[in-house]
Structure 1
Amino acid sequence: MRLREIVERLHLQVLAGEKALDREVTGGYCSDLISDFMANGTPGCLWLTLQTHMNVVAVALLTGAAGVVFTGGRGIPPEVCRKAEAEGLPLLQTPHSTFEMAGRLYQLLNEK
């Protein structure tokens, strides 16, 4: 499923990387540990996290993530959004919890 459709159907706010929303999303991964995502995140996955610092952008790019969803409605530093925009990485935001978004994303990606 294309990231653009996920953004629309889950009502996600696009913070950066709008030009890259045509990426294919192959799955999702939830983790707030950078090292865990580095070890287990896969190319094309959508990373759901509470972390909002610059390292998230670097690790998402390193792993080839389709994008990052910041959950819980936390404030995102402007420099993080600027870096992601410059790198073409979609950053998305939702006020909903990681638990809720993971369930909704799972259902969406597994529709028949």
Structure 2
Amino acid sequence: MAVKFIKISVVYFVIGVCIGMYMSMTEKFTFTPVHVHINLLGFMSMAVAGLIYVGFPNAAATTLAKVHFWLHNISLPIMMIGLACLVSGMEKAGPAVATGGTLMVLGIIVFAINIFKNVKS
């Protein structure tokens, strides 16, 4: 799981940087919230989770780690596509942001449970 988290985090990093480059080139910064969330929740959070799982392989080997991975990677695109639509003026995209955000919180709670349950000195 550690390697999967680290590799997917780099994919999100590339996407986040490309959005930032697009905004710079066009001087249209509408997608700043999407750029920031993809870099934070996609790249940084998943890279840190991956590194934690490298250091604590018992936690990485759990079903909780797999559930965290899939909840995170299903919810983030839903939330980010919804947020991109919302900041572009599509008011009906609010439920996608809410659904993705709720699933993201659940995934992070699963991660926290896994850490408290399986990370020991």
Which band: TM-score by shorter chain? under 0.3
Q: Which has the larger radius of gyration?
A: 2
Higher relative CO (CA 8 A, sep ≥ 6), structure 1 or 2? 1
| Greater strand fraction, Structure 1 or Structure 2 | 1
| Greater helix fraction, Structure 1 or Structure 2 | 2
For normalisation by structure 1, the TM-score amounts to: 0.25
